A and B are shown apart, each in its own frame.
Chain A
Amino acid sequence: MNELDPIYHLYLAAVLFSAGVFVVMSKRNVVFVLVGIELILNGANLLIATFSRGNLNGQIFAIFSIVLTVCEVAVALAILLNIYKKYTTSNLDEVRELRNE
């Protein structure tokens, strides 16, 4: 079985993580920021899966993390709908206050 050295998977996870950080910090659209968060979480999941080859516990915790990500995206989408209704924009810089007094 001539599989690739798993060290490359670690570097791939590092690429995913840092690309996610770049997207979260530089883009101004809410959906873009969510895409960046997905990239970061996938980098973490790839690390878990790589370090736990041949061990089922790592897979179980990666599945838990995926389920938590789904929860996060669902709640974020609901909040995004409320923000868009109030401000009619999905640009994060124009959302400046929590509520109108």
Chain B
Amino acid sequence: MIQVVQYFFFILILIGVGLILWTKNVIHAVYSLALVLVSLAGIYVLLNAELLAIVQILLYAGGVVILLVFGVMMTSRMKGRTLATKSKNSLVALILSVAIFTSLSFVFSEVSFSERIELHQPNQVEDIGISFLTDHIVAFELIAFILLVALVGAAYLAKISSNE
């Protein structure tokens, strides 16, 4: 049963990636990216990473995709023109990506997950929250500070562009 659900999410992700590669329309690519991200959240749940799945849906599907849609809305001239984008260097890009996929597959074929891992962790979120504030406190505070600086800086940059 779990295998069927996993194959379902795999197929959804592959369809989304294929649509991103195939389409010329920017907004279609952004929506296909949303499909990929939500299906990845499902795979995270099946990998027993529940908090990661929730963060994935909240921040990626809820935040990044909305930001990208705003980017498309504000930078494309909608009337009279299609949103088609051109491709360039397709052959070189294809060769490079196939080479990367081949070498990654070569590395992954050496990996073996032989040992069984105990997957059941009932209070994962509580453990992660405690770990954020004890073991990883420096990284946690730094990431909060970086997020603050990046958002304020982004708002400032956007304000410059709208004032002039």
A and B interact: yes
Report A's interface with B, CB cutoff 8 A.
1-19, 21-23, 25-32, 34-35, 38-39, 42, 45-46, 49-50, 53-54, 56-60, 62-64, 66-75, 77-82, 84-85, 90-91, 93
Q: Of all chain B residues, which has the CB nearest A84? A: B75
A10 to B: closest C-beta gap in Å: 4
Task: Judge whether A26 and B154 touch: CB under 8 Å.
Answer: no
How far does the alpha carbon of A42 sit from the alpha carbon of B20 in the complex, in Å?
14
When distances are taken between beta carbons in the complex, the residues of chain A under 8 Å from B132 are 60
If the complex has contacts A10-B108, A59-B49, A60-B128, are A78 and B157 also in contact, measured as CB distance less than 8 A?
Answer: yes
Q: Which 7 A-B pairs have the closest CB atoms?
A: A71-B150, A25-B93, A78-B157, A54-B117, A18-B101, A29-B85, A14-B104
B123 to A: closest C-beta gap in Å: 11
B35 to A: closest C-beta gap in Å: 12
B137 to A: closest C-beta gap in Å: 12
Task: Judge whether B101 and A75 touch: CB under 8 Å.
Answer: no
How far does the alpha carbon of A29 sit from the alpha carbon of B86 in the complex, in Å?
8
If the complex has contacts A3-B2, A26-B88, are A53 and B150 also in contact, measured as CB distance less than 8 A?
Answer: no
When distances are taken between beta carbons in the complex, the residues of chain A under 8 Å from B2 are 1-4
22 cross-chain CB contacts under 8 A: A3-B2, A4-B3, A4-B6, A11-B105, A12-B13, A14-B100, A19-B20, A19-B21, A28-B87, A28-B88, A38-B64, A42-B60, A45-B56, A54-B118, A56-B127, A56-B131, A66-B60, A71-B147, A73-B67, A74-B150, A82-B158, A90-B75
When distances are taken between beta carbons in the complex, the residues of chain B under 8 Å from A58 are 49
Q: Could you list 9 further interchain pairs (A-B, Cβ under 8 angstroms) beyond the known A3-B6, A66-B59, A78-B157?
A: A3-B2, A14-B100, A18-B101, A21-B96, A34-B68, A46-B40, A69-B59, A82-B160, A93-B88
When distances are taken between beta carbons in the complex, the residues of chain A under 8 Å from B111 are 7, 10
A36 to B: closest C-beta gap in Å: 8
Task: Judge whether A70 and B33 touch: CB under 8 Å.
Answer: no
When distances are taken between beta carbons in the complex, the residues of chain B under 8 Å from A14 are 100-101, 104-105, 108
